Amino acid sequence: MAEFPRISHKKVVVTGGAGFIGSNICEDLLNYNNHVVCLDNLSTGFKENILPLMDHPSFEFIEGDIRDLDTCKRAVIGADIVLHQAALGSVPRSIHDPITTNSVNIDGFLNMLIAARDEGIKRFVYAASSSTYGDSKELPKVEENIGSPLSPYAVTKYVNELYAKVFGLNYGMELIGLRYFNVFGRRQSPSGAYAAVIPKFVEAFIRKEAPVINGDGTFSRDFTYVDNVIQMNHLAATTENPAAIGEVFNTACGEQMSLNDLAGNLKSLLSFYDEDISVLEVIHGPERKGDIPHSLASINKAQRLLDYRPEFSVSDGLKEAIDWYWTHLS
């Protein structure tokens, strides 16, 4: 396990703590003697993600919605740090239902900022998104150069960054945004219309079904294993570098993989468990609205200001994830 500064002996609020990323963060925080308050309305998170934590004496679960200010204020009482993971994700979902996406991602975010401000919490780390780069064709993506958003989801995540900047300027809060790039790993659900590509592909292969790639498969992503995201949350929450405060950082591996190559890698890894999977072929469907063609992060800024060193490459992360999925889905 890589050595880097970690949050320890703090009271930490994790919004969206029953979700895929949030539950992994909660679990990790408990390993370092923190008191963890998990706030989640279970709309996209799952109780089973945090069941192993429920009996921990330093874990507190609040089933509530960040769209309710009183709930947010109750969650942050006495807290030292907020790690804001709660959001209604998915570009397609935001195109289908922009009102709810806006309500959760902007109104809910603002509520958490207000609650943290009023409680006197200075350090607030929030999940931003690579979708903010929009129609920018520049590769790799550099934090200071963004394009126009291509979906309501992207708009909401950019507004989060703007609000964070304003709260830092006006209220002296220490806000740091983490632009997540296609995070994957244990506990990421393959279920539902808006499930992420990796668990969807894995579940299809395990069921001996052909996974469906939207488009010709040449679109590429910077797939990022969840443990790298955990590291970035620790680094952002503990940094004493004044140059990092108020900034936004790409949270990624700095590697690019096409959807065709992803499917091939997953098939190869799963074939070790069941050789019948090796003969399955993918199906190509229509491109999705709002999808950006290519995504590759520059992680230079995070390396320079936060001393970020990704623990897992994409291939190493996929091996870890496949092992978890085979155990839980097969």
Does position 254 have pLDDT exceeding 70, yes or no? Answer: yes
With respect to residue 128, please indicate whether it lies within any of the assigned structural domains: yes
Residue 114 Cα distances to 90, 108, 158, 163, angstroms: 25, 10, 18, 11
What is residue 92's predicted lDDT score, i.e. its pLDDT? Answer: 86
CATH number at residue 52: 3.40.50.720
With respect to residue 210, please indicate whether it lies within any of the assigned structural domains: no
User: What digits encode the pLDDT tens for the residues 16-25?
Assistant: 999 999 999 9
What is the arithmetic mean of pLDDT over 115-126?
98
Whether 263 maps to a domain, the answer reads no
Average pLDDT over residues 179-191: 93
Write out the two tokens for 323: 């092992």
Looking at the domain assignment, is residue 6 inside a domain?
no
- For residue 279, being part of any structural domain is answered with no
Q: How many CB atoms are closer than 10 A to CB 242?
A: 9
Asked whether residue 248 is domain-assigned, the answer is yes
Which pLDDT value is given to residue 204?
Answer: 93
Alpha helices in the chain (DSSP H): 20-30, 47-50, 69-75, 91-96, 98-102, 108-119, 152-171, 197-206, 226-238, 259-271, 300-306, 314-329
Distances (CA, A) of 155 to 55, 147, 243: 39, 11, 26
pLDDT in tens, 223-233: 999 999 999 99
Mean pLDDT for the chain? 94
- Short-list 251, 227, 255, CA closest to 303: 251
What residues are labeled active site?
A: 153
What pLDDT, on a 0 to 100 scale, did the predictor assign at position 1? 59
Helix (H, G, I), strand (E, B) or coil at 298: coil
Higher pLDDT, 286 or 166: 166
What does the pLDDT read at residue 186?
A: 95
pLDDT interval class at 323 (50, 70, 90): very high
* pLDDT tens-digit map of 264-321: 999 999 999 999 999 988 999 888 776 778 889 999 999 999 999 999 999 999 999 9
Global pTM?
A: 0.95
Calpha distance 74→119 (Å, rounded): 10
Q: Mean pLDDT, to the nearest integer, of 84-96?
A: 92
Whether 271 is covered by a domain: the verdict is no
Average pLDDT on 86-95 reads 90
What was the pLDDT predicted at 240?
Answer: 97
pLDDT at 47: 96
Domain span at residue 64?
11-187+223-255+290-312
Main-chain phi, psi angles of 63, to 5 degrees? -85, 105
How many CB atoms neighbour CB 315 within 10 A? 14
Percent of the chain with pLDDT over 70: 98
Weakest mean pLDDT among 35-39, 135-139, 191-195: 191-195
Residue 218 domain flag = no
The two tokens of residue 306 are 């936060």
Instruction: Give the integer Cα–Cα distance in Å for 21 and 85.
Output: 7
| Domain count for the chain | 1
